[in-house]
A and B are shown apart, each in its own frame.
Chain A
Amino acid sequence: EIVLTQSPGTLSLSPGERATLSCRASQSVSSSYLAWYQQKPGQAPRLLIYGASSRATGIPDRFSGSGSGTDFTLTISRLEPEDFAVYYCQQYGSSSITFGQGTRLEIK
C-alpha cells in the first residue's frame, strides 16, 4: 500500500497569505493519480484537485496543485477566510486507495 505523508501537520497563516501544503508518497504514484480534498468541521470532504494539477469544477483558481512521482504540493495563492480547514491528499494510482493524514490550516 502507498503511504502518503502530509506536512506540516498544522499551518498557521493569515488571510491574504500564501499556503503551501506538501504530500509525499512512499512510492511513486502512477500517472500522477493524486487528488486533494478540503474538509470543514461536520462536513464531508470536497474535491479540489485531481490528476495532481487539474481543478475540479467550481474550484477557484487560487487553488493549484503540482508535482509528480512521490512529491506533490497544494498551493492556495491568497487565503480567504473560508479556506481555513483540513486538507487531505489521496492517491488512486494503485489498486488500494489511500489518504494522507491531513494538514490543518488555521487562522493565525
Chain B
Amino acid sequence: QVQLQESGPGLVKPSQTLSLTCTVSGGSISSGGYYWSWIRQHPGKGLEWIGYIYYSGSTYYNPSLKSRVTISVDTSKNQFSLKLSSVTAADTAVYYCARSGYSYGPGVFDYWGQGTLVTVSS
C-alpha cells in the first residue's frame, strides 16, 4: 500500500520561501510510471494543482505559479520536494502531495498525503 507523507514548517514569513517534502513509502519513485504532484487547497476553498515531477527529474508546473515554483526529486530517499518562493498570505493553504500515472492515467490522483497546513504570516 503506497503512502505519502508531507513534512515541513507550518509557518512561513512573507517574502520567504516555502519548503515542503513528501516521503513515499510502499513503492519506489524510481520504478517509473508515475508522476508526483503537489496540490494545494486554500482554507475552505477548492483544489489547485501546483505541478509534478517524474523520477527522471522532468517537471511541469501550473503556469500561474511557474515563476515561483521548483519541484525536485531525491530517489535515494524516495522523496520529492516543493519550493515556493516570495510567498504572501495568499499562499496560506493545506498542501498535499499526490501520485498519478500508470494505474489510471497521467493526471489522475490515486494516492494522496494527509495534507499539511502552511500559514504565511509575520
Contact = CB atoms under 8 A, between A and B. Distances in A.
A binds B: yes
Interface of A: 1, 33, 35, 37, 43-47, 50-51, 54, 56, 88, 90-93, 95-102
A96 B63 contact: yes
B101 to A, nearest CB: 11
B31 to A, nearest CB: 19
Contacts of A97: 49, 62, 107
Contacts, number: 60
Contacts of A33: 105, 107
Contacts of B114: 43-44
Given A1-B63, A88-B47, A90-B47, A44 B115 contact: yes
A100 B107 CA distance: 15
- A interface SS class: loop
Interface of B: 45-49, 60, 62-64, 96, 98, 100, 104-110, 112-115
Contacts of A101: 45-46
A44 B110 CA distance: 11
Contacts of A100: 46
Contact of A45 (B47, B105, B106): B47
